Structure formats: structure tokens, C-alpha cells
Amino acid sequence: MANTDAAVVVETLGPLTPAVQAGLDALVLQSGWNQTPQDWAIFSREGTVCVVRDAQGRIIASGAVLPHGPQVAWISMILVAPDLRGRGLGRAVFLHCLALVKDGGRTACLDATPDGQRIYSHFGFAPVYGLTRWQRAARPQAVPAARSQQLPDAQALAALDAQALGAPRHALLADFLARPAAACVRSSEGFAIVRRGRIAHQIGPLLALNEASAAELMTRAVQGLAGPVFIDVPDERALLARQLHDAGFTPQRSFMRMVLGDQPLQGQTHFIHAIAGPEFG
């Protein structure tokens, strides 16, 4: 078992039962995050979910590790019940997740909030680039988007995605595309996936060879979405930021992409115009 704080027992879960799923969903709800049961399912199926329970068996903290190929793994979903924060539970889960990544011989990556960045830097994580979550509020009416009813095969998108991120994640893209109401807009220079979250649609990944193509894909992706929308954009994308502002989006929060140690991801980051979400990279 991975090393953790001695007073905290971190459990590595097997397949998710309905009771465990309910406990994980409760943590997301309490934290105001956007993840869905489908997100927990892919963490469990393709990676590892870790939890801390109280004396009554209630899940009070969580974390997840999701490998992207043999060299990289994302750490995310470090959640703690609001009434139990500040007691070292999140730190214990994080250290457990980090040990799992190291034991697997992979490089640990994550997308940190400003508070998280200060913590993770103490463990050797280095900043790569900043991100901003842009949010558009719900709209009562929307013109239906003219989208193809046939979603592309994930394999057709995976090559560009792996080139951009620097790590393969075909299973994740296939999962996104298989979800109810998922959409994918494509051009000769890139693509954007839209999926439903718990509280908002999430646009991402959005990959394109240049920012002008990305802006056109974003416009098509958001078309017809009546509910709230999130999109997490690298801070260097000034053209896309202006277009988001003009489309009624406002900045909500910031993240910092971080990698453990001095070995950067070997991706073409200029292709990345919106990430899949801080939980997925």
C-alpha cells in the first residue's frame, strides 16, 4: 500500500458499487464540481479511485489516478467533505495517489487551483502553463446546432490528441464520444468535443493547428447549447479569449498545469486550445 499520513487510512477501490458511487457523487455535489457518474466510472475502469471513510463507512475524501499511456498519469479529484477539511485528509489521499503513479513508473501531472499549486510545488511539481476556466451562463433559448448525427470514431481523433498532449488517451476520447448527448465538431485542422457535466456542458478537448481554426470550432461547439457552458483555455490564447468574451463568457477560475520533476510533457502544446478538463488533462 502507498505511504500516507499514519492517522489516515486511504483505501484503493475496486469496481464501483452503487453505494460507493453515491458517496463519490455526494463529494462532487458538496464541492460544487462538474463531474458525473460517467467520469468516476472511467477513473475506476481505466485508472484508480482512492477514498477515505469515516467510522460509519461514509466516504469523506477521494482522489483519482488516470494513466495516459505507459509514461504519464493524471492525479485529480482530490475532494474532502466540507465539514472535515483542514485535517490532512486531502494531503493523505494525494500522497497515496502520487505513490501509485511513482510505483507505476509514470510521470505525475495535474491541473492545480492556486491553493493547490502552492501545496504541490512543495512536492516537486513544476508549473507548465496557466489555464482559465471560462463560463457562460444558461440561456433560455438556443438555436439547434447543425451537427452531424454520426460521431467520429475516437481513433480518428486520437492521433492529434496524443500529439498535442504528449501522451495517448484513446480510451478517454472513446468514453466521451459514447456518452448521451455528446457532440464533436470537426474541421480539416482540428476538433472539439462537447459533453454534459453535472452543472454545465464542458467543451474540450479543443485541438487545432492554429488559434483562428480553434475560434471557429469553439463557435460551432457552443452553438445550440442552452445550459451553462465551461471551457478551460490556456492563458496564452488571446484571440480565443476575446472571442469567448464577445460570446458572453466570463472568467470563473484559474488552474496551473504542473508536472512532477524537470521532465516536461513532450506534446505540441500550441495545438491545445481547451483541455478536456482539469480532472483529465
* Predicted confidence (pLDDT) per residue in 188-224, tens digit: 999 999 999 999 999 999 999 999 999 999 999 999 8
> pLDDT per residue over 139-197, tens digit each?
876 555 555 556 677 788 999 999 999 999 999 999 999 999 899 999 999 999 999 99
* Nearest in space to 107 (alpha carbons), one of 63, 62, 75: 75
Q: How wide is the angle at C-alpha 211 spanned by C-alphas 207 and 216, nearest 5°?
A: 80
Amino acid at the residue 218: M
- Chain centroid to Cα 150, Å, comes to 25
Q: Are residues 13 and 50 in contact, defined by beta-carbon separation less than 8 angstroms? A: yes
Q: What's the pLDDT score for residue 140?
A: 75
Residue with cell 496551473: 256
pLDDT tops 80 at residue 1: no
Q: b/e string for 177-193 if b means 16 or more Cβ within 10 A?
A: bebeeebbbbeebbbbb
The Cα 56–Cα 132 span in angstroms is 39
Share of the chain above pLDDT 70, in %: 94
Q: Which CATH number does the domain 132-274 belong to among 3.20.20.105, 3.30.43.10, 1.10.3470.10, 3.40.630.90? A: 3.40.630.90
Same fold, 11-105 and 132-274: yes
| pLDDT recorded at residue 262 | 74
| 37 has a pLDDT exceeding 90 | yes
Cell of 121: 510545488
- Inter-residue contact 187 to 218 (CB < 8 Å): no
Please determine, for residue 108, whether its predicted confidence score (pLDDT) is greater than 50.
yes
pLDDT exceeds 80 at position 4: no
Averaged pLDDT of the chain: 92
Q: Is the Cβ–Cβ distance between 134 and 246 less than 8 Å? A: no
* Parallel/antiparallel/unpaired status of strands 250-260 and 229-234: unpaired
CB contact at 8 A, 126 and 261? yes
The string over 198-225, giving b where at least 16 C-beta atoms fall within 10 Å of a residue's C-beta and e elsewhere, is ebbbbbbbbbbeebebbbbbbebbbbeb
CB under 8 Å to 192, separation ≥6 — which residues? 184, 185, 203, 204, 205, 206, 207, 217, 218, 220, 221, 274
Segment 123-130 mean pLDDT: 95
Residue range 11-105 in CATH 3.40.50.150: no
Q: Three cell numbers at 148?
A: 452531424
Cell 465551461 belongs to residue: 230
The strand pair at 229-234 and 125-136 is best described as antiparallel
**Count helices and strands in the chain by DSSP H and E runs:** 8, 12
Q: Is 193 left (phi over 0), alpha (psi -120 to 50) or beta?
A: beta
Residue 61 has pLDDT above 50, yes or no: yes
Statement: residue 2 has pLDDT above 50: no
The residue extents of the domains of the chain are 11-105, 132-274
| Gap between the Cα atoms of 162 and 70, Å rounded | 13
Q: What is the predicted pLDDT for the residue at 148?
A: 54
In whole angstroms, what is the distance from residue 189 CA to residue 174 CA?
Answer: 20
Range among 99-103, 115-119, 138-142, 221-225 rated most confident: 99-103
> Is the pLDDT reported for residue 52 higher than 60?
yes
Percentage of the chain exceeding pLDDT 90: 86
